[in-house]
Every structure is written in C-alpha cells, then in structure tokens.
Amino acid sequence: MSAHRGSGLTRRLVQLYGGVVLYGVSSALQLRAGLGLAPWDVLNQGISRHTGMSIGTATIVVGAAVLLLWIPLRQRPGLGTLSNVLLIGLVIDATLSLTPAPTSLWVRIPLLLFSIVLCGVATGLYISPRFGTGPRDGLMTGLHRRTGRSVRLVRTCIEVVVLATGFALGGSVGVGTVLYAVGIGPLAQFFLRVFALPEKGLPQAPEERPKVPEVALPTTPVRECPDPV
C-alpha cells in the first residue's frame, strides 16, 4: 500500500512540474511567434517594457501580486500555486535565451499554433494532480464565491481588465491573442481528461473515505424449533 502511494505521489509531482515547465515554454514560444500574446502575458510584457525587468521576472511579480489578493478572498495556496508563481517566469526567461526569434511568417504561424496547443497540454498536466490552482485561477474562483457571479462572467471580466491594462502598457495584442482566447478552454478541457489521475491515487479527506455499510440486525426474537417428539 505504501509503495502504491509513493508511486502515485511521484506521478503527481512529475505531472505538476512537467506541466509548469511546459507552461513556461509555451508562453515563451508564443512570445517568439510575435503574433499576439495571451491576456496575462500581454500585461507581463507591458510591465516589462516600462520597468526594464525581464518578462519572466514581471511574470513572477504579477503572480505574487495576484496571490496577495487571495488573502481577503480567503483562498489557500497549495504546492502547485507556489510552483506556478516561482517557476513559470524562470522557465520563460530560460526559453527566450535559448530560442531565437523567427523572421519568416511561415515559421511564426506554426510556432503560434504549437505554443497554444502546448499550453493546453501544460494546463492539463499541472492541474490534474490537484496540488492547487494557479494564482490567476484562484483569483477567479475566489471572486466567484464572494460575489456570487458566474465563473464565466468573473473570468471574462478579469481577462478584459488584464488585457486592456496590458495593451495600454504596450503589450502585444494580435491574432494570437484571439486564437488563445478561443482555443485554450477546449484544449485545457481535453487534456485534463487525458491526464486525469484515478481517484484512488489521490488522497481523500476523512469524510470522503468510503464508509462500510452497517448491517441491520433483526429486531424480532428468533423462535427456537421445538424438539421432535
């Protein structure tokens, strides 16, 4: 039993950190494509241009700031949350340092499409182990609970505000932004199913453990058969 739990935990950690790394790679490749970024990356790039920070550092700073907003919303971060904040920005900077910016449109378009699909893969990988949501997703769910508004409305409002702020700061908005907005939801949903872990491989809260049904005992006395004459 302990060996099974150990292997299950190892798989969850591999999925978590594999997903976080691929998420950072996908963000960097979409930036290299130069055809428009995801809304939060538009904001990160805008902040980077005005502060002189690398876009990876800006990503970490923004993630930490969003995490602070969890406090009044009474959200609790997990290992996945902290890993998301700290590692994705580092991976973005590392990937940008290793990949040159393509000049041909025939390279940039496939690179854009590949980066969006890779982001969907990464999302499925790092969310499936259930180590905690990313800071931005936690902000969405926290506001949903506090305001009573639908998740769709809350998510849309957050994305619009973030995108408008990033665009005002000089972040890149383009066809890639639209494709990301349209495609990331279905892609994430698909890869969440692909990388879903069996329930028995995940820890259960005490109240979630299966209960052994109680067997009702007979309440009427059992009559003894008379001895044969």
Instruction: For residue range 31-51, list pLDDT tens digits in order.
Output: 999 999 999 999 999 999 999
Q: How far apart are CA 11 and CA 186, in angstroms?
A: 24
Rounded average pLDDT over 94-98: 97
**DSSP readout, 104-139?**
-HHHHHHHHHHHHHHHHHHHHHHHTT-S---HHHHH
| Cβ neighbours for 61, distance < 8 A, ≥ 6 positions apart | 47, 53
- Lowest average pLDDT, out of 10-19, 115-124, 139-148, goes to 139-148
pLDDT of residue 151: 80
The neighbour count for residue 205, using CB atoms within 10 Å, is 6
pLDDT score recorded for residue 198: 78
Whole-prediction pTM: 0.82
Alpha-carbon gap, residue 124 to 130, rounded angstroms: 11
What is the distance between the alpha carbons of residues 120 and 193, in angstroms, rounded to a whole number?
11
pLDDT exceeds cutoff 50 at 137 = yes
CA torsion angle 109 112 117 119 (round to 10): 180
Question: Which pLDDT score is estimated for 212?
Answer: 44
Out of 94-103, 131-140, 167-176, 194-203, pick the least confident. Answer: 194-203
Which pLDDT score is estimated for 199?
66
pLDDT in the model for residue 112:
97
pLDDT tens figures, 189-228:
899 899 988 765 455 444 444 444 444 444 444 444 444 4
Residues 227 and 229: their CA atoms lie apart, in Å, by 6
- pLDDT (0 to 100) of residue 215: 44
Using the structure block, give the residue that is written with the tokens 């490749």. Answer: 29
Which whole number is the average pLDDT over 15-19?
A: 95
- Tally Cβ neighbours within 10 Å of residue 199: 8
- Give the pLDDT confidence score for residue 43 in this predicted structure: 97
- Residues near 222 by beta carbon (within 8 Å), at least 6 away in sequence: none
